Chains A and B, each alone.
Chain A
Amino acid sequence: MTSKISLLGWKIKGLRSPDYEVDLRKKGSDETYPVSLIQMPNGTGKTTTLTLLRGTLSGEAAHWDGKQIADLKRAADSGTTGQFILNLMVDDHKVTFELTVDFQKNTIRFRTTSGSGVREGFYPPRNIARFLTPAFVELFVFDGELAANLANSNRTRARDAIDTLFQLTVFDEIKTKVDQNWLDHVDQIGHTAQRALVRRRNRLAELEKSLRTLRSERSKLQRDLNRKEEELDRRNDAYNAAIAKDKDVGFKLEGIRSRLDGADSLLKAQVEKLIVDMRFPHLLSERFGEELLDLKNNLDTLKLPSSTSKEFFQELADAIECVCGREMNDAVRQSIRERAKLYLADEEVGVLNAIKTDIAKYCSDSSSVNFKSHANEITVLGDLLRARDDLVTERQALLEQRLAQGDAELEKKKAELDEANLAVAQIIARLAILNGTPDGTEDDDTEVIRALEKRVDEARQDLAEATFTERLKNQTEIATKILDEAQKNARNSLRDIITSQTNSRIADILKSDPVKLSRIEDSLVLSDRGGASVGQTLAVGYAFLSTLFNQSSYSLPFVVDSPAGALDSSVRRQAAKLIPQLSSQFVAFIINTEKDHFVQPLATAANNNVQYLTVFRETPTTARIKLPQNAQKTTNGVIVESMDFFNQFDVNEEN
């Protein structure tokens, strides 16, 4: 069953935008235009409208604080209340959310009108309630930057988008409830039992709370680390640019940097080679090689391992006759089974033979030759390290010489660079503690996550044993593992499908200059992230959103602020062709300068089934504009529905 949500229109009064009413329906019907373009000059209240749309559709406005409410107030307006009324069509039913702002009391009151009547509060119809949450509404009411942000590694919206759309977050909810179910059983028993149960229960709750806090801190630090490293790179570039102002020093530094890169590469290759070699004991010590050869020779002398294994005798004990032809009886069988234990198993014989083969293969040359060859490689590593360190020293001396020239800007850049280095180092140090390897001495206050996880497991087992709920606890843990695994599998397979479908769409919109979506992690990862332009990144974001919304069993409107702002003219045309496919209703807020190369291709792609609206405030500039007859004027604003007026309107900024 497909659920369809359409925006019928909204009305704003007494808020930080001109008073106006938008009706997105075709005249005389409840059918909406597939594309509605609302042209509003900067400063007219686009941001306020978008904020109100998001806050009302998600019900979040009911929780706005005093500052957020004050931001809705029109400057120099003595009005004490404001109102935003949003009309929706959900399948065949009209739903109205009415939001009344009281600026004196700093409060917001919600009212919902639907088939069931008028109710105070936010009551979306049940079949669409899951879409009307803050996280979900952000996916279909967004500013033009969202699409580009989907490819920003510091934002996690791509993964969030998939999780939200396919409701993968429900797995987490079920896990929480399953665990709570076990704890409820524990509590039922605990109430009638001794105080020790309460202590166990509290200990588990404290440990789980600490674990959640530390995991959350780790996630935040990992995100911060990406951002701080980007900041460090920027400051490093700025510092290098400041140094290079002294051309002589800059030239020398560039030379050192290039040699340093080369020295680092050689060093890295040598370390990798030595790490592989270190797995061979005969290369680490001459004595190892000699002893290994002795071991093999002694095994050969003793003809070990013998070709007869434990399994041979075990099979023999089950036979009717012995290999010598004599009939077997129970006493003989028992004796053979007992003595079979003196022989090695097939597997053990195999391992010993493999060891002998390897010794013959690797240690047959003179051990001293092997060892000396490895020792030479270590000497080379030492030489490479010294060469690299000499270059570091040389660079440091040059930097100090440059700083000694007394350049205030350079000192500032150096201080900023040191600050960024320190910030990155602090995060890395903290992550090292959180990700540390437990040494067994940790207590309940440990900050080593793996140690704390183990203590949580122990505390759960302890509590389960004390309350005789082990079976339920084990069932709960198996259910949690299944849900974790299923969530991971579903996310991976949905990511693969969406990546492939997104790439097909990208090929359509970026025919001349395609870029590929490599994979979806927390964010979208482009195959050529460094080389992708803003327009390409944005187009990939649109293709991704379009793919997501075409997967689902429901139809939602798209409301976008500045859809073409960051696109160059050729990408604008291509994106415009894609937009009508995004959803059954596309509502865009645009300014005059975005129209070129965007509106016309969009209208063509939508078979000219486009509504053109222009909203502006009455100012000395706009007062001179000749209005068509159907213009609707309010006390402080004007709204005009006309394609010609839309195309001719050339006010960018309200003044």
Chain B
Amino acid sequence: MDELNDEVRSAIESAVKKLKQPPEVAKRIGALLGQIANGNVNMNKRDEYQSHLEAMLDVIVVDNGEENRLS
């Protein structure tokens, strides 16, 4: 997240707050963007981004619906 621009970071945090999601969601999105900015994750390579994506989705809270864990 170090490489992430302050404005982008704060935009993510305020979006997460607005949609009443836990702060952990902002951290996960920030981590993914930071890794992309560092050149460590290439969004054209699934094996590089998939675990970040699942970590981000996993902390998103859904009010209703059946429990479906990510496999």
Where the two chains meet, the residues of A that have a C-beta atom closer than 8 Å to any C-beta of B are 1, 126-127, 129-130, 166-168, 170, 173-174, 177-178, 181, 185, 188, 468-472, 474-476, 478-479, 481-483, 485-490, 493-494, 497, 553
> A470-B65, A471-B67, A553-B3 are contacts. A489–B14 as well, Cβ < 8 Å?
yes
What are the residues of chain B within 8 A of A485 when measuring CB–CB? 11, 14-15, 18-19
Complex Cα spacing A167 to B39, Å: 12
Complex Cα spacing A177 to B54, Å: 11
B19–A493 touching, CB < 8 Å? no
Q: Return the chain A residue nearest B38 by Cβ.
A: A127
A479–B57 touching, CB < 8 Å? yes
> A181-B53, A486-B29 are contacts. A478–B43 as well, Cβ < 8 Å?
no
Q: Return the chain A residue nearest B52 by Cβ.
A: A174
B39–A129 touching, CB < 8 Å? yes
A552 to chain B, nearest CB (A): 9
Q: From the candidates A470, A475, A489, A493, name the one contacting B57 in the complex (CB within 8 A).
A: A475
Give 5 A-B contacts (CB < 8 Å), ordered by A residue: A166-B5, A181-B50, A471-B65, A482-B25, A488-B11
Given contacts A170-B43, A468-B68, A483-B29, 10 further A-B contacts (CB under 8 A): A127-B38, A174-B53, A469-B68, A470-B68, A471-B67, A471-B68, A482-B19, A482-B21, A493-B11, A497-B7
A178–B7 touching, CB < 8 Å? no
A170–B33 touching, CB < 8 Å? yes
Q: Return the chain B residue nearest A178 by Cβ.
A: B53
Does B16 lie at the interface of the complex (its beta carbon under 8 Å from any beta carbon of A)?
A: yes
A534 to chain B, nearest CB (A): 32
B28 to chain A, nearest CB (A): 10
Q: Return the chain A residue nearest B16 by Cβ.
A: A482
A178–B71 touching, CB < 8 Å? no
B8–A490 touching, CB < 8 Å? yes
Query: How big is the B interface, by class?
Result: 35 or more
A474–B62 touching, CB < 8 Å? yes
Complex Cα spacing A170 to B7, Å: 15
- Interface hub of B3, B11, B67 (most chain A Cβ within 10 A): B11
A583 to chain B, nearest CB (A): 19
What are the residues of chain B within 8 A of A478 when measuring CB–CB? 19, 21, 60, 62
Does B66 lie at the interface of the complex (its beta carbon under 8 Å from any beta carbon of A)?
A: yes
What are the residues of chain A within 8 A of B10 when measuring CB–CB? 489, 493
Does B56 lie at the interface of the complex (its beta carbon under 8 Å from any beta carbon of A)?
A: yes
Q: Return the chain A residue nearest B44 by Cβ.
A: A173
B56–A479 touching, CB < 8 Å? yes
What are the residues of chain A within 8 A of B39 when measuring CB–CB? 126-127, 129-130
What are the residues of chain B within 8 A of A472 when measuring CB–CB? 57, 68, 70
Complex Cα spacing A483 to B64, Å: 21
A488 to chain B, nearest CB (A): 8
A450 to chain B, nearest CB (A): 22
What are the residues of chain B within 8 A of A185 when measuring CB–CB? 70-71
A479–B60 touching, CB < 8 Å? yes
> A170-B33, A481-B19, A482-B15 are contacts. A471–B66 as well, Cβ < 8 Å?
yes
Complex Cα spacing A430 to B33, Å: 39
Q: From the candidates B15, B50, B53, name the one contacting A486 in the complex (CB within 8 A).
A: B15
What are the residues of chain A within 8 A of B57 when measuring CB–CB? 178, 181, 472, 475-476, 479
> A130-B39, A553-B3 are contacts. A482–B12 as well, Cβ < 8 Å?
yes
Complex Cα spacing A482 to B37, Å: 19
Q: B13-46 vs A: 1/0 string, CB under 8 Å?
A: 0111011010001000100110011110001000
Complex Cα spacing A490 to B10, Å: 8
What are the residues of chain B within 8 A of A486 when measuring CB–CB? 8, 11-12, 14-16, 29
B56–A474 touching, CB < 8 Å? no
What are the residues of chain B within 8 A of A468 when measuring CB–CB? 66, 68
Q: Return the chain B residue nearest A173 by Cβ.
A: B43
B54 to chain A, nearest CB (A): 8
B18 to chain A, nearest CB (A): 6
B65–A474 touching, CB < 8 Å? yes
B62 to chain A, nearest CB (A): 4
> What are the nearest 8 A-B pairs in CB distance?
A489-B11, A490-B11, A485-B15, A486-B15, A471-B68, A470-B65, A474-B62, A486-B12
What are the residues of chain A within 8 A of B36 when measuring CB–CB? 167, 170
Complex Cα spacing A478 to B59, Å: 11
Complex Cα spacing A474 to B21, Å: 13
Q: Return the chain A residue nearest B69 by Cβ.
A: A471
- Interface hub of B15, B32, B70 (most chain A Cβ within 10 A): B15
Q: Return the chain A residue nearest B37 by Cβ.
A: A167
Complex Cα spacing A481 to B65, Å: 18
Q: Return the chain A residue nearest B40 by Cβ.
A: A126
Complex Cα spacing A168 to B15, Å: 15
A57 to chain B, nearest CB (A): 17
Complex Cα spacing A181 to B57, Å: 10
Complex Cα spacing A488 to B8, Å: 10
Q: From the candidates B18, B53, B67, name the one contacting A177 in the complex (CB within 8 A).
A: B53
What are the residues of chain B within 8 A of A476 when measuring CB–CB? 57
B47 to chain A, nearest CB (A): 12
A16 to chain B, nearest CB (A): 34
Complex Cα spacing A343 to B6, Å: 55
